[in-house]
């Protein structure tokens, strides 16, 4: 008897508290930057595509909704020839972002992805690639990697010594 009264009292009390729900879509809720919504592909600080087509996002994806094919630029660097995410399968788990070694793939707070036609949920690279660095402003994978690029010679990457002259007798 007492507990029932208490329940009624508690419910009554909540009638006067501020509502947690908001009048979406008139009023937009706050979503933190680390919210896991629509996936984007970002660019490095130099404006180049960050994705190196390493395939780790595709490998880790639990619903296998990422497919891509590696291609090679003139200077030998890697990039995706195509990069496709089937958002009708995506569960926004963020494991691709965690696996990405170049900070290329990032999840954004945008979750409004409804479509009347499921085919429109298939995003190609042109839909995914944004003109920005996303959450990681400074990172450029090719400045760390030992691979030679058009703008970086061997030995010029982070923490690298100059290339060894194998014909030298010096220690």
Partner 1 sequence: MPTIYIDGQALEVAQGENILEACLNAGMDLPYFCWHPAMGSIGSCRQCALVQYQNEEDTRGRIVMGCMTPVTEGARFSLNAENATEFRSAVVESLMLNHPHDCPVCGEGGECHLQDMTVMVGHRDRRYTGKKNTHRNQYLGPLIHHEMNRCITCYRCERYYRDYAGGKDLGAQASHDHVYFGRHEEGVLQSEFSGNLVEVCPTGVFTDKPFLKHYSRKWDLQSAPSICSGCAVGCNIAPGERYGKLKRVHNRYNHEVNGYFLCDRGRFGSGYINSDARLDYAGIKKPDGSFMAVHQQQAIDTAASWIKHKKVAGIGSPRASLEANYLLRELVGAANFVAGFSDREAEIMGTIVHSLKHTRASNPSIKQMEAADAILILGEDVTNTAPRVALGLRQSVRNKAFELAEQMGLPPWQDAAIRNLAQDQRSPMIIVSAMDTRLDDVASRCVSLAADDIAVFGYAVAEVLAGGKSEDVAVNEAAEILLRAKHPLILSGSSMSHTGIVNGAVAVAEALEAQNKSAMLSLCVAESNSLGLALLVDSGLKTKPLSISKLAKKSSKLDALIILENDLDRRSNKADIDLLVTGGAKIVSMDILENSTLNNSDLVLPAASYAESQGTLVSSEGRAQRYFPVYRPAAERLPSWQWMLQLADACEHKTLSELEHFDQVVAACAASQPLFATLVDVAPLRDYRSQGQKIPRQTHRYSGRTAMNAGVSVHEPQQPEDTESALAFSMEGLNRDEPASLIPYVWSPGWNSNQSLQKFQAEVDGPLKGGTAGVRIIQSTGLGALQSSEPAEPTLKPHHWLLVPVHQVHGSEEMSANTDEIAELAGRAFIGIGEKVAEKLDVAEGDGVVVTQGKTDISLQVKILSRVAKNCVGFSAGYSETLGLTAGSLVSLVKDQQWVRATSQMIATDKGTGTRGGSAHV
- Binding site residues, partner 1, CB under 8 A: 52-56, 58-59, 61, 63-72, 74-78, 81-82, 84-86, 88-89, 101-102, 118-119, 121-122, 124, 141, 144-148, 154-155, 157, 159-164, 166-168, 171
Integer Cα distance of 138 and 12 in angstroms = 52
The DSSP element (H or E) to which 3 belongs, if any, is helix 2-14
Decide whether 31 or 59 has the Cβ nearer to partner 1.
59
In the complex, minimum distance from the CB of residue 148 to partner 1, in angstroms, rounded to a whole number = 7
In the complex, minimum distance from the CB of residue 20 to partner 1, in angstroms, rounded to a whole number = 35
Integer Cα distance of 169 and 122 in angstroms = 59
In the complex, minimum distance from the CB of residue 146 to partner 1, in angstroms, rounded to a whole number = 3
Decide whether 75 or 110 has the Cβ nearer to partner 1.
75
In the complex, minimum distance from the CB of residue 109 to partner 1, in angstroms, rounded to a whole number = 23
Decide whether 34 or 118 has the Cβ nearer to partner 1.
118
Decide whether 88 or 109 has the Cβ nearer to partner 1.
88
In the complex, minimum distance from the CB of residue 3 to partner 1, in angstroms, rounded to a whole number = 50
CB 142 within 8 A of CB 77: yes
Integer Cα distance of 157 and 147 in angstroms = 8
Task: Give yes or no for a cis peptide into 49 (omega within 30° of 0).
Answer: no
CB 66 within 8 A of CB 144: no
Integer Cα distance of 60 and 66 in angstroms = 9
């Amino acid at each position: 008897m007492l507990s029932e009264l208490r329940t009624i009292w508690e419910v009554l009390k909540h009638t006067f508290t501020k509502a947690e729900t908001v009048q979406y879509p008139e009023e937009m809720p706050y979503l933190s930057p680390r919210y896991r919504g629509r996936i984007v592909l970002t660019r490095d600080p130099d404006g180049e595509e960050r994705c190196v087509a390493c395939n780790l996002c595709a490998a880790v994806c639990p619903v296998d909704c990422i497919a891509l094919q590696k291609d090679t630029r003139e200077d030998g660097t890697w990039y995706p020839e195509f990069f496709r995410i089937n958002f009708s399968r995506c569960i926004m788990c963020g494991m691709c972002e965690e696996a990405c070694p170049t900070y290329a793939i990032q999840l954004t707070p945008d979750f409004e992805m409804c479509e009347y036609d499921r085919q429109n949920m298939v995003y190609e690279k042109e839909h995914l690639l944004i003109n920005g660095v996303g959450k990681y402003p400074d990172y450029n994978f090719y400045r760390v990697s030992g691979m030679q690029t058009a703008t970086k010679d061997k030995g010029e990457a982070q923490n690298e010594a100059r290339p060894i002259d194998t014909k030298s007798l010096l220690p």
